[in-house]
Every structure is written in structure tokens, then in C-alpha cells.
Amino acid sequence: MSDIDFWSWPPGAIDNAISELQQQYLPSLDRLDMAGLLKNEGLGKVAIVSSFGVESGCLLHFVSQLLPAAEVIFVDTLLHFPETLKYRDQLVEKLKLNLVTVAPHKKLLSTEDPRGDLYSLDPNGCCLIRKVFPLQDQLASYNSWISGRKRYQGGQRSNIPILERSGEHIKVNPLATWTKSMVINYMRVHEIPIHPLLEAGYRSVGCWPCTSIAVQSQEDRAGRWIGREKTECGIHLGPDGNFSRKRVGRSK
């Protein structure tokens, strides 16, 4: 067991746990030991979080080779494309994943989104009750989590670190510095199935009401929340883990 003090995080000051891990496993880009980092017992109980989107197979294969027993959390917003659910089941079977599906709280849905159209009225509120809350509740029983974000996805992801703090959790982004070609090649070499909607032209896939096909000259995620000032669902919190469960939704 590592003697790193993982819970010594002082908000607004130096994060000792992140610093120590950084020095041990990521001293420089040419001396990056991702396997060592992910297998470090000090990370505690680790979850992989996946939306089973078009590039998810890469992260899921890469990490499940190193941590075969790790639980893979999928947030079922109840508004996913049927193709995504089918793809999830296909990857779970092929990669022998330990899937944990979580869903929005029924009572919250019935009070905040009784007609199921909150995505058009208040997409941030919709993401809060359908994605952020269910994931935060589930993550309460984990110490660390792994995400598949990459810098080449642009926007707020352009500068993501490999290792970061997310509230009380340590978050690892193993593919942060990968290029798109690396992801494509990795999936090809390991014969990872392709998301059916990628073949239909979608380069980034989320819930069906908020996903469109981006034009070729745009970034992959440009088809998400088109026409809205929104580029992320909100599950990736700032280092202070700041969010509040204030009431969301329409006025009656």
C-alpha cells in the first residue's frame, strides 16, 4: 500500500497527493508510467466512467487490461440512442466489463422534468438531474475515477491534465495526451467494435435530444448541444468539486 496521503488535499493550496503521484509516475512526458499509476493501490477504489460514445472502446480496452475488475459506471440518462445501449452491451460482452448502470432518481424526474422536455427548456438542469447527480451519488463509494477525455477534443478539454483533483476524488485521464490517430489505430489494432452511429456520421454521441452530426470542418463535439451556450454536461467538476443541489426546472 502506498504511503501517499491521498486525503491531504487543501483547497486552494498545493495538492500533495497529486504532486506525489505526478513525481512518481509522470515525471516527464517521456517517462510516463500509466500502468504503474493506475495500479497504485493508493488510488483506493477506482471506477471507470464511460458514456459508451464513439471512442469509449479505446479507454475501456486500455484500462480494463490493467484493472480487469474495475467497475465501469454508465449513467443511463434514459435519453440515450438505442444504438448506444446496444454498443454498451456489445463492449461489455467483448471486454468482459464489470458494468454498473446508474439512472436519474425517479422522484426528481417526476418533479423537475414531468414532461421529459427539460433538455429543451434548461439543458443544464436536465444534465444535473440526469447525469451529474446520479454519477456523484455513485462516486461517493469510490476514491478515484478514470475518464476518457482527450485534449484534441478541444474546448474546455484542450488543456486537461493526466492527473487532477475532482472534489474529494482523484481523477485520471489516461488518454489526455493521445491524438485522434492514436485512438483510431488503437481501436483498429485491438479489433474493438465501432459505435454504429459513427458509421452514420456522428463523431461525438451523447443523449439523442442534444446530439447532431457536426459538419466536417468543425470539432468532433460541435454537434453536442447545438445552438446552446453549453459544451459540457457538468460531470467534470472543477478542482473544488463545486456544485449545489439547488432546485432546477420550470416554473409551474
Residue 122, C-alpha cell as written in the block? 434548461
Size of the site for ligand SF4 (CB under 6 A): 13
Buried b (16+ CB within 10 A) or exposed e, 50-82: bbbbbbbbbbbbbbbeebeebbbbbbbbebbbe
Stretch binding ligand SF4 (CB under 6 A), from 94-102, 175-183, 202-210, 239-247: 202-210
Confirm or reject binding of residue 84 to ligand SF4 (CB under 6 A): no
Pick from 132, 103, 104: nearest CA to 244: 132
In 74-179, which residue ranges form alpha helices assigned H by DSSP?
A: 82-95, 106-112, 118-121, 123-127, 133-139
Q: Which residue is nearest to ligand SF4 (CB)?
A: 207
**Out of 46, 79, 146, 172, the residue judged to bind ligand SF4 by CB under 6 A:** 79
Binding to ligand SF4 in span 213-252, by CB under 6 A: 233
Nearer residue to ligand SF4 within complex by CB, 131 or 195: 131
Q: Do 1 and 150 form a contact (C-beta atoms < 8 A)?
A: no
Q: Do 129 and 108 form a contact (C-beta atoms < 8 A)?
A: yes
**Out of 37, 48, 97, 126, the residue judged to bind ligand SF4 by CB under 6 A:** 126
**Out of 210, 222, 235, 248, the residue judged to bind ligand SF4 by CB under 6 A:** 210
**Out of 127, 135, 163, 183, the residue judged to bind ligand SF4 by CB under 6 A:** 127
**Out of 91, 135, 207, 214, the residue judged to bind ligand SF4 by CB under 6 A:** 207
Nearer residue to ligand SF4 within complex by CB, 15 or 83: 83
Nearer residue to ligand SF4 within complex by CB, 192 or 205: 205
Confirm or reject binding of residue 209 to ligand SF4 (CB under 6 A): yes
Q: Is 127 a catalytic residue?
A: no
Sequence-distant (≥ 6) Cβ neighbours of residue 119 within 8 angstroms: 79, 126, 207, 209, 210
Q: Do 44 and 144 form a contact (C-beta atoms < 8 A)?
A: yes
Q: What type of residue is 153? A: Q
In 104-251, which residue ranges form alpha helices assigned H by DSSP?
A: 106-112, 118-121, 123-127, 133-139, 180-189, 196-199
Pick from 166, 105, 172, 160: nearest CA to 140: 166
Residue of 126, 127, 210, 233 with catalytic role: 233
**Out of 6, 25, 119, 202, the residue judged to bind ligand SF4 by CB under 6 A:** 119
Nearer residue to ligand SF4 within complex by CB, 38 or 108: 108
Q: Give the interface with ligand SF4 as residue ranges (CB under 6 A).
A: 77, 79, 119, 123, 126-127, 130-131, 206-207, 209-210, 233
Report the catalytic residues. 233
